[in-house]
Amino acid sequence: MSKLFSPITIRGEEIPNRVFVAPMCQYSSETEDGRCTGWHTVHYGTRAVGGAGLVMLEASSVSPNGRITPWDLGLWDEGHVAAMVPVVDAIVSNGATPAIQLAHAGRKASHTKPWEGGKMLAASDGGWETIAPSPISFQEDWDVPREMSMDDIGQVIDDFASSAKLAVNAGMKVIELHMAHGYLACEFLSPLSNHREDDYGGSLENRARFPLEVTKAVRNAIPDSMPLFVRVSATEYMDNGWDVDECVEFSRWLKDEGVDLIDCSSGGNSATQTLTPFPGYQVPFSARIRSEAEVTTGAVGLITEAAQAEKILEGGEADVILLARELLRNPYWPIHAQTELDGEAAWPSPYKRVAELRNYPAPPR
| Sequence-distant (≥ 6) Cβ neighbours of residue 182 within 8 angstroms | 106, 107, 108, 138, 193, 233, 236, 267, 268, 269, 270
Window of 20-28, 77-85, 285-293, 343-351 that interacts with ligand FMN by CB under 6 A: 20-28
Residue 195 interacts with ligand FMN (CB under 6 A): yes or no:
no
* Segment 321 to 350, residues that bind ligand FMN, using CB under 6 A: 323-326
For ligand FMN, the binding residue among 136, 192, 204, 302 (CB under 6 A) is: 302
Residue 247 interacts with ligand FMN (CB under 6 A): yes or no:
no
Contact 112, 142 (CB under 8 A): no
Residues in contact with ligand FMN, shown as a per-residue x/- string from 102 to 141 under the rule CB under 6 A: ----------------------------------------
CA-CA-CA-CA dihedral for 52, 306, 333, 58, to nearest 10 = 50
Residue 184 interacts with ligand FMN (CB under 6 A): yes or no:
no
Residue 305 interacts with ligand FMN (CB under 6 A): yes or no:
no
State the number of binding residues for ligand FMN (CB under 6 A): 20
Residue 67 interacts with ligand FMN (CB under 6 A): yes or no:
no
Residue 211 interacts with ligand FMN (CB under 6 A): yes or no:
no
Residue 286 interacts with ligand FMN (CB under 6 A): yes or no:
no
d(CA 334, CA 17): 9
Smallest gap from residue 267 Cβ to ligand FMN (A) = 10
Residue 308 interacts with ligand FMN (CB under 6 A): yes or no:
no
Q: 3-state class of 215 per DSSP?
A: helix
d(CA 274, CA 46): 35
Smallest gap from residue 177 Cβ to ligand FMN (A) = 10
183 an active-site residue?
yes
**How far apart, in Å, are the Cα atoms of 228 and each of 92, 131, 224, 297, 338?**
18, 25, 10, 12, 27
Decide whether 229 or 347 has the Cβ nearer to ligand FMN.
229
Window of 176-184, 214-222, 251-259, 331-339 that interacts with ligand FMN by CB under 6 A: 176-184
Q: Classify residue 120 by its DSSP letter.
A: B
The number of C-alpha atoms within 13 Å of 126 and in the hemisphere containing its C-beta is 13
Residue 295 interacts with ligand FMN (CB under 6 A): yes or no:
no
The whole-angstrom distance between residue 46's C-alpha and the CA centroid of its chain comes to 18
Which of 183, 200, 237, 332 is labelled catalytic?
183
- Residue positions annotated with a catalytic role: 183
Catalog residues that contact ligand FMN under the rule CB under 6 A: 22-25, 58-59, 101, 178, 180-181, 231, 265, 300-303, 323-326
